[in-house]
Amino acid sequence: MDNSNIARQEAIELDNQDKLAHFKQEFYIGDETLYMDGNSLGLLSKRAEETLLTSLEDWKHHAIEGWTDGEQPWYYMSEKLGEMTAPLIGAKKEEVINTGSITTNLHQLLATFFKPEGKKTKILADTLNFPSDIYALKSQLRLHGLDPEEHLIQVPSDDGRTLDEDTIIELMNNDVALLLLPSVLYRSGQLLDIKKLTEAAHEKGIIVGFDLAHSIGALPHELHEWEVDFAVWCTYKYLNSGPGGVGGLFVHEKHLGQAPGLAGWFSSRKDKQFDMDHTLIPAETAGAFQIGTPHILSSAPLIGSLKIFEEAGIENIRKKSLQQTEFMMKLIEQELDGFGFTIANPRENKRRGGHVSLEHDEAARICKALKEKHIIPDFRSPNVIRLAPIALYVSYEDIFEVVMHLKEIMEKQSYKKFENERGIIA
């Protein structure tokens, strides 16, 4: 029996032992499709569909009374979702709210916590972060009359893939007021040591925030215990809330009770909101950091999705995710040796997020060739193929099939019929 047949048998055996395997039946996916892009947009589950339809029924039958009398009352939906999300990030329910978008929430929390004064006028970030976060940081600096060229410090990367925590700590100077980093880097999948970085920053009196876009729903966190000051995330990746699903934020309880930097009607304490007073009485929970009316139809699917997470358990999801990515990397090294691929993500479990990052000079056209075979990867400029074996709906045999199809593409050089350029959306 050759190595590939041995690997297939291993995949089948792992699937037979998988206690989360039955959750795959909860999700909609084409029979011939192998979906490896759940770290960009998670699949629709039947339960997310059901809770969206419930809110539509509430609108149909209750009209405006749906705010309080629906099966899923809209007035309290953001708080309910915050409570359901809290266990995934190690937070208290009052520290979490489902609201806005990831970048809107980041602007809100920067407006609240970035208070440059005296020598503390700089923000520490990194050179590998998703562009949107850097855009937000620069615009907030400009709003304070500060030049981003001088007041935004971006930690360099020695290898262009990963960050060194000790280097980050070395740059925590006395002029840094706020630190913002991704929990997991979007290209390489590196998981940063959140606890270590938070403790070091607090020793210097620096406010600490994290972007959890590529970690929430893939791995557990302990934000409250680690005393992270704030965090933001989207819900349409690993949390499977749907395209443009409403985001979320965390504010540590030590900061609750203060007025938000950007106040709005839904920043109000719930029992005072309809007093219609022009003096804001902010909520004493993370709800204070809401701005506008909740986007109900973009929030409702998350109720159903989070019920799946509650049943599956984030620790179980993480255990399977690590085993899946390890299996995929072993297969890549076994089957794709000599084809020019480099595994760019860290190999250690404690430093790896939920996806495998492959570098190749022909990455864009290889992704197109995969899509021709109904395999959905993710390309990131300039040369990265991201493959995310999502624990809830990707089997080990799926992983085996993806790697074998990739091997066939490279052996036949079928990728060469495509241009090595990204599409409008990569």
Residue 82 sits in a domain whose CATH number is: 3.40.640.10
What angle separates helix 314-335 from helix 396-412, to the nearest 10 degrees?
Answer: 30
One domain, residues 76 and 133: yes
One domain, residues 351 and 411: yes
What integer pLDDT is reported at residue 127 of this predicted model? 97
Question: What CATH number does residue 385 fall under?
Answer: 3.90.1150.10
Within a domain: 383: yes
Q: Which residues span the domain enclosing 8?
A: 3-31+313-417
According to the annotation, is 293 in a ligand binding site? yes
What integer pLDDT is reported at residue 333 of this predicted model? 97
One domain, residues 17 and 132: no
Distance CA 204, CA 60 (A): 54
Within a domain: 423: no
Among 311, 339, 363, which residue terminates a domain?
311
One domain, residues 176 and 320: no
According to the annotation, is 123 in a ligand binding site? no
One domain, residues 82 and 179: yes
Within a domain: 299: yes
Among 281, 311, 341, which residue terminates a domain?
311
According to the annotation, is 131 in a ligand binding site? yes
One domain, residues 370 and 394: yes
Q: Which whole-number Å values give the CA distances from 272 to 35, 255, 261, 288, in the listed order?
A: 46, 21, 19, 12
According to the annotation, is 265 in a ligand binding site? yes
Within a domain: 209: yes
Task: Please report the sign of the dihedral spanned by the C-alpha atoms of residue 164, residue 169, residue 172, residue 177.
Answer: positive
One domain, residues 377 and 295: no
One domain, residues 295 and 324: no
Within a domain: 422: no
One domain, residues 176 and 281: yes
User: What residues in the chain have per-residue pLDDT under 70?
Assistant: 1
Report the domain count for the chain: 2
Residue of 373, 391, 268, 383 lying closest to 321 (CA atoms): 391
One domain, residues 294 and 179: yes
Distance CA 424, CA 402 (A): 24
According to the annotation, is 103 in a ligand binding site? yes
What integer pLDDT is reported at residue 388 of this predicted model? 98
One domain, residues 290 and 402: no
Residue of 242, 202, 201, 237 lying closest to 219 (CA atoms): 237
Among 311, 340, 358, which residue terminates a domain?
311
Within a domain: 190: yes
Residue with tokens 């629906």: 70
Within a domain: 291: yes
According to the annotation, is 133 in a ligand binding site? yes
According to the annotation, is 236 in a ligand binding site? yes
According to the annotation, is 130 in a ligand binding site? yes
One domain, residues 53 and 131: yes
Within a domain: 43: no
